[in-house]
Amino acid sequence: MARIKALLVGIDDYPASVAQPLGGCRNDVAEAHRLLTDLAGERADVRVLLDAEATVGAVTDAVLNHLGAAGEGDVALLWFSGHGTQEVATGGDLLIEATGLNQALVCVDGPLPDKRLGALLDRVAAGGAQVTAVLDCCHSGGATREAELTARYAPPRPGWDLSGARAAGGPARHVLLAASRLDEPSYEGWFDGRRHGAFTHALIGAVRAAGPAATCRELLAGAAARVQRAGSTQHPVLWPDLPGGGADRPLLGGGGTVREAALPHLLRCGADGWEVDCGAVHGLREGAAGAEGTAFAVLDEGPGRGVVRALEVSAARTLVVPVDWEPEPERVYPVALSAVALPPASVTVDGSPQDVAALAAALGPLVRLVEGPQEARGLHFRVRVRDGWARVLRRDGTEFTPALPLRAPVDAERVADCLDHLTHWHQLRDLTPRPSLLDGLVELEIRRWDSGEPLRPDAAGEIVCPYGADGRPPWVSIRLHNRSPDRTLWCVLLDLTDGYAADPVLFPGHFIGPGHTGYALDGDPVRLSLPASRPAVPGAEARDWLKLVVADRELNTRPFRLPPWQAATGRRILGPVLGAAGRWTTVTVPVRTLVP
């Protein structure tokens, strides 16, 4: 069975020259240690650093040598409770710190920059271990806002260098469960008669309630709901939240594997009651009227599980009420959309009565069967069935995809899956909110890599990027400028391809500070190329739609990810040349890559 190498760091007794003292960090470590003992027993090899022991050098050494001893299939867990700090970023750090700030943990003798810590944890992960960091400290913020709570924030001292070293290109190999957003304090206070970090207290409770099979994603959702119900204003964060990665593994391993497909939505009991992390930004109709007829089905097997009905849809969430069952308030449930009052797409079927009946039975909630195009609204498909093959056609008769077999019930489900996939892709591409105060605050700019010249749309509204005379694909720089003088805004940039794929790989979701700029791929060049299945011959082309979604809070990005419908078309997501809310708005920029 997999081993667990755990490093628990708690600092209450800070020197006056470093930071103000705290009162709950040692208690956090004691509870985390007890949790590991109860759930992992002899599998857990725990090292603890408290107060004066927790120097920058000691923490660094313990990460490399204690956590670094975790091998293939093992778990390496860092749990830090103490102060965090920040300072203004400069130079090259601005390419990867879109907030305009560098962050660091505050050890007993000074700062450990987050970029340096991330590089250390990725070195541990390179050995094959599942690496997770739980950080209960401020990543930014200021004075305490609530009399009963103390902010775990230390102002930077003269001489502190928080810049760290920039990590090598490619995605992070570790998973972070953080107590708060980059622009928020995290707090400690009295819980059950003892001082604790609000996040640590909530996360440990969520782990004990959910059991060992719960993933980091589910635990973070449960902990965030507990923090809200406790009255704290901080918002815990999971990073990176890529589906099928470390976020979808159990926190303590124990034989759990990455789930094949991350479930799109989670049901939890928040401060305002039961809610699902799906809202208008994911394609639902906003408001109480938009919620009518919308429902989600719980996917976990178990007695008494059922359906929740939508009450009101906001930008990022839907308030719901359980129908004929009572969910446990301490649990988090994976759910999927099961009904909408007005499906966004319709389909007519030209085939035998058996074909029509088979497809009607297989359709999901996003597509409704109609008798003729006169009943269609918005996106409409025509399915023509001949000789055991189904062709999915547009209104003008052209094909969306190559023909699909339709000879058995499983084939009907495949055709229905295709219609659902195409509907989801079009929903993302055409996603448009109501007028918002955020409209126009973030500018999406594409520049030539060689000259830095901004690219402008042509008469058709597309940005055309031709291959070079030497046959090389074009390179560009993609930048997101926050023009607001006072708003920190959360942005995600989706790449929607003409192979019906969608991915936020360019800018996966991050806050951009007022007056600052976020860079796709952390400032590395973005290569625009044809998919491997399309030879780069004169006249060949590929289309992308860059969809910028801007909000005043984080959004659930899992529904923004779609694989290409046909693997044969070749996966084409704009990629690197090197290595790998209450209010919201969108910007869409069509891009055409052309071989002259």
pLDDT digits (tens, 9 = 90+) for 103-147: 889 999 988 988 889 889 999 999 999 999 999 987 532 222 233
Q: For residue range 46-71, what is the model confidence (pLDDT) as tens digits?
A: 999 999 999 999 999 999 999 999 99
Confidence of residue 569 (pLDDT cuts 50, 70, 90): very low
**190-194, 442-446, 463-467: range with lowest mean pLDDT:** 190-194
pLDDT of the residue at 155: 56
- Mean pLDDT highest for which of 121-125, 169-173, 530-534? 121-125
Residues found in the chain: 596
d(CA 187, CA 397): 59
Pick the closest to residue 548 from 494, 503, 504 (CA basis). Answer: 494
pLDDT of the residue at 79: 96
- Mean pLDDT highest for which of 236-240, 244-248, 416-420? 416-420
Pick the closest to residue 471 from 376, 414, 519, 540 (CA basis). Answer: 540
- Mean pLDDT highest for which of 26-30, 563-567, 572-576, 588-592? 26-30
> Mean per-residue pLDDT for 262-275?
85
Cα-Cα-Cα-Cα dihedral of 38, 43, 44, 45, to 10°? Answer: 150
Question: Could you give the residue ranges of the DSSP H alpha helices within 380-439?
Answer: 409-429
Structure tokens given for 341: 């009052």
What percentage of the chain has pLDDT greater than the value 90?
54
How high does pLDDT run on average in the chain?
Answer: 86
Is residue 190 within 8 A of residue 148, CB to CB? The reply is yes
**40-49, 145-154, 239-248, 445-454: range with lowest mean pLDDT:** 145-154
> Mean per-residue pLDDT for 228-247?
83
Confidence of residue 253 (pLDDT cuts 50, 70, 90): confident
d(CA 586, CA 436): 10
Is residue 290 within 8 A of residue 569, CB to CB? The reply is no
Q: What is the pTM of this model?
A: 0.81
d(CA 565, CA 549): 23
Pick the closest to residue 384 from 414, 351, 413 (CA basis). Answer: 351
d(CA 251, CA 242): 15
Q: How far is CA 578 from the centre of its chain?
A: 23
Is residue 312 within 8 A of residue 318, CB to CB? The reply is yes
- The distance in angstroms from the start CA to the end CA of the chain is 57
Is residue 347 within 8 A of residue 379, CB to CB? The reply is no
**β-strand partners of 164:** none
pLDDT of the residue at 145: 23
Q: For residue range 349-376, what is the model confidence (pLDDT) as tens digits?
A: 999 999 999 999 999 999 999 998 888 8
Q: For residue range 486-518, what is the model confidence (pLDDT) as tens digits?
A: 999 999 999 999 999 999 999 988 999 999 999
